[in-house]
Structure 1
């Protein structure tokens, strides 16, 4: 089965996404997009573009590698590895986080996008003092 056009477009945009081309998100997201991640929930394309613009201002780089895709009719699960460099985290060194996105399409665009990822691995573990606490909690929970 050939991959749906909306999903092909999503993968193409995220494979090239950077601070220089955030407007390309308009090509893949429906005007009524609902975007949810572990930290925020935004509705509508204007709010999504503002959210991404704010996020990417703090990044030195951000790359997505698509690891696996499951597709059924108008929805998909996209498993990915994100590697980013943040101005204030990990001394600007790369941080890699695995996650996945649940996507629903409407009118050949993504109308619902929910990200699942470990926020501790992405953010909290790289903040001085807090990182030590989060790591200690994870070690204790693993016992």
Structure 2
């Protein structure tokens, strides 16, 4: 199967997404996009741009490494690893989280995404990295593993 140029362009954008280029999302998302992850549901490209701008404002470093990609018609899936450095998470050290994105491209042939849903372990990204809550979550996980 050959690489899909629209899906590859989308992944390339996320490889470089940071606070300096959030305004470029309008090239990759429809005006009425719905974005959803384990923590948020956002409707509209303007709201999504504000969300990304706010999200990246305190991030030290962030990048995605994309793995498998598949597209069938307007539906696409990609797996990825997020590498995130934030001063208030994991003592500022890199956090790595595996995830998957389900994308639905617009029917208009523009190559822009109309629906974006991310699946990842919010605990591994956020809750386990917080000073007090993280210790409690790790304790519960160890007990469940026993």
TM-score interval, smaller chain: over 0.9
C-alpha distance in structure 2 between counterparts of 1:102 and 1:36, whole Å: 10
- Which runs of 5 or more structure 2 residues have no equivalent in the other structure? none
Aligned to 2:49: 49
Runs of at least 4 residues off by over 6 Å: none
Structure 1's unaligned 5+ residue stretches are none
Spell out the pairing of 1:1-143 with structure 2 (5 A cutoff).
1-106=1-106, 107=108, 108-143=111-146
SS of 2:15's equivalent in the other structure is helix
Give the aligned CA root-mean-square deviation in angstroms. 1.2
- Native 8 Å contact 1:28 1:109 kept in 2: yes
| Distance in structure 1 (CA, Å) of the matches to 2:89 and 2:83 | 13
TM-score, scaled relative to structure 2: 0.93
TM-score (norm. length: structure 1) = 0.94
Post-superposition shift, 1:141? 2.1
Q: How many residues align?
A: 143
